[in-house]
Every structure is written in C-alpha cells, then in structure tokens.
Amino acid sequence: MVLPFISLYIDSFGDFSDRYVQNWSGWIFAITFVAAFIFSPIWGRVGDKFGRKKLLIFFAIGLGLSVFLMGFATNVWQLFLLRLLMGMFTGFIPMSQALISTQTPQEVAGKVLGTLQTGSITGSLMGPLIGGALADAFGYGNTFKWVSITIFLSALIVAFGIKEILIKFDESDKDHKAYSSKEVFLHIVRHPVLLVVMLISTLVQVAHFSIQPILSLYVEEIHGPASIAFFSGMAFSAAGLGNLLMTRNWGKLGDRIGYIKILIILLFMAGIVYLPGAFVTNIWQLVILRFLLGVSIGGIIPVRIAYIRQEAPLSMQGEVLGYNTSLRFLGNIIGPALGGMIAGFYGISAVFFVTSGLLILCGFIMLTAWYKHTYADKQSHSLSSHTN
C-alpha cells in the first residue's frame, strides 16, 4: 500500500533535487530487505523453539508500530530508521508459511501453500491500488496510519483465529528433536538438492526483480508518455494476475507428480517467456508476456517451500525456511541494482536477455542436481538390488 508513493513522501519533506530523492528512495526501499535478510534465520529458529503463532503476533505488532510511526516522520533519516525496524519484523509471511507447513499433511502441502501464496499475491495486487487511493484522499502521512490498522487487525486474527499444535521435542525422533544451528546447516549441506533449491531462491529473485525498477521506463519507451502510470500499473499487475490464477494449481500438481519436476518445468518456462520481452513493440505484447511470466513464476514459491517441508524435519523447518527467506531477500537486494546497471550500460532490452539466461541456467542447475542426486541414486539402488 505504501511502496508506490514512498519517493513522493520523501519529496514532501523538503525542496530536494531529483537525484537526492532517487538515491534516498533506493536506500529506504533496500534497507528493509537488508534487515530481513539478517533476521529471518534468527526468527525461524525462535519459531521452531517457542511456537510460530506467538511470533506472528509479535511480527504484526512490530510491523504495525513501525508503519504507524512512519506517518509522523519529518525527515529521511527517521523514515530510513523506521524502514530498518520494519525489516527486523518482516517475517510474517515466511513464518506463516512455516506454521502452515508444519500443521499440514505432507501430501497436500503444495496445494495449501499455493493457497497461502494466492492470499499474498492478492494483497500485492490490491495494496498499491488502495494505497494510492488513500494517499490521494487523506495524504501520505495519514495513509501510513490507515495501513497500520490493517496490520494490527492481522495480529488480532492470528491471536483469536489460529490454534497451533506445538511440537514436543523428543531426542529419539528426528522429526521432533531439538537441533542446533550447526546441525541445521549441516542438514542443508548434506542434501544437495535441498541446497540447490535454496540457492536458486536467490537467483530467481534476482531475475524477477532485475526489471522491476525500470519497467515503467520500458513502458514509456515502447508506449510513450500518455497515461504512463496506468499502463505501468497494468504491466506490473499482469504478472500478479497470472501468478494469482495458477499458483494453487502448480502446488496441487507438485503434490501429485513431485515438487522438483514442477520446479524444473517452471524455471525453463519462465526463462523462455522472459526472452521475447526484449523484442516487444507495443504495450499489449508486454502485458501478455508479463501475464505468462506470472503464470510460470507463480508456482515456484509454493513448490519450493513444499519441497523444504518434505526434506527438513518438522522441528527445524522454521530455521531452514528462515535461511530460504534470507536468500530470497538477498535476491531482492541484488536484482534491482543489477538490472539498473545492465540497463545503464547496454539498454533495457539487455536486462531481458540476462534475466532469461539466468532463469534457464537455474533450470539446468536444478535438473542436473535432481538427476545426479535423486534419479541416478534410484537407478543405482535398483541395479544393486537386482544384482543381489
């Protein structure tokens, strides 16, 4: 709700140059992801130990307070520090993924996590529209205060609407024993496919976010300045709509035929769909490609988390998902900087080439890891059993 007008809010603090506003907008946008990158594994471990429902309430209150206080900011440093504080509490959606993952039967994890992703995407689509309307009606500062009410409301919903079945630790049961951080890290390293899935989280976010900061400029380049905000919003929302329509279906398909198989298909599909974006000549071609990108990208998050749910014991899932979230936020930080740099040197079209290549590379890496450590192992086991 507030991201579309953060730069305008900064501009309202004083008579600043465009360069000053753009620089501070970048720092204030990025600092939340930096803080989230650092704190996500810490919160994941705390959630594994003390329960995830309590942390969800804690996050919502922390987020609500930081956003509420943003409405009273009078200079960029106050806004920067509050966005930093916000990043420390930006674990609500990953923690809810961990909560649902641990409370859901493994055979339907993909479908249920896909449903959760649908809710997250719906919020992402509605937020900028509602936020823009509120900012026009009540002003920037008051909009932050209205947004904080919705976050406090989510704390009440969690407090009174969710019952969490807590895991009882048992040293004799690998699913229910307490793990040290070292043991969690070693578990990830010793499962090469799981490690690759988590590392790909960074590369996918780099690819997805590389075009985000300059998409409006690309829309203006191919369409012209007429109704630029409207058509930029349409290009952004098209990906979200495709994501919304297909994410649950990809999760269900992953439950049925295997999460890694679906993940490999989606990575290649996203890479192929991204490439023609470099050659579009009108806005509608771009909107259609963005929709198809959303269709392919939409399944990556739920099938990835469902696979982690499958491969990590219950009592360490929060921390493993915390590392996965950190790697995603790392991609969120690198992506816009990389996209801006490539566009500056080689033009916006080059960003589509690089992004497409990166996603296809991710597909090959995932396919190789899966074949080498899963399919090939099964083949060798079956051969040895026949020999015996």
DSSP string computed for 288-342: HHHHHHHHHHTTHHHHHHHHHHHHS-GGGHHHHHHHHHHHHHHHHHHHHHHHHHH
Specify the residue for token string 């049925």. Answer: 256
Q: In this predicted structure, what is the pLDDT of residue 312? A: 81
Other C-beta atoms lying within 10 Å of the C-beta of residue 301: 25
DSSP 371: I
> Model's pTM, two decimal places?
0.73
Per-residue pLDDT of the chain (388 residues; tens, 9 = 90+): 776 667 778 888 888 787 777 678 778 877 888 888 888 878 877 877 777 888 899 999 999 999 999 999 999 899 999 999 998 887 777 777 778 777 777 777 777 777 777 777 777 767 766 777 777 788 888 888 888 998 999 899 999 988 877 655 555 455 556 677 788 888 888 888 888 998 998 888 888 888 776 776 777 788 777 766 667 767 777 887 888 888 888 888 888 888 899 999 999 999 999 999 889 888 888 889 988 988 888 788 788 888 887 888 777 777 788 788 888 888 888 887 788 788 878 888 888 999 999 999 999 999 998 888 776 555 555 555 555 5
Exposure string of 17-28, with b = 16+ CB inside 10 Å and e = fewer, is eeeebeebbeeb
Burial of 381 (0-12, 13-18, 19+ CB in 10 A): exposed
Of 108, 110, 326, 356, which Cα lies nearest the Cα of 210? 356
Name which of 105, 159, 150 is nearest 127 in CA terms: 150
Which domains, ranges and CATH numbers included, belong to the chain? 3-163+177-378 (1.20.1250.20)
Instruction: State how far the Cα of 297 lies from the Cα of 339, in Å rounded to an integer.
Output: 18
**What is the rounded distance in angstroms from the CA atom of residue 87 to the CA atom of residue 330?**
13
For residue 233, count other CB atoms closer than 10 A to its CB.
17
Q: Residue 4's pLDDT is what?
A: 61
Residue 174 token pair: 């690998």
Give dist(CA 292, CA 288) in Å, integer. 6
Tell whether the torsion through CA atoms of 140, 146, 150 and 152 is positive or negative.
positive
CA proximity to 243, closest of 166, 320, 297: 297
Q: CA 85, CA 78: separation in Å to the nearest integer?
A: 11
What pLDDT is stored for residue 5 in this prediction? 67
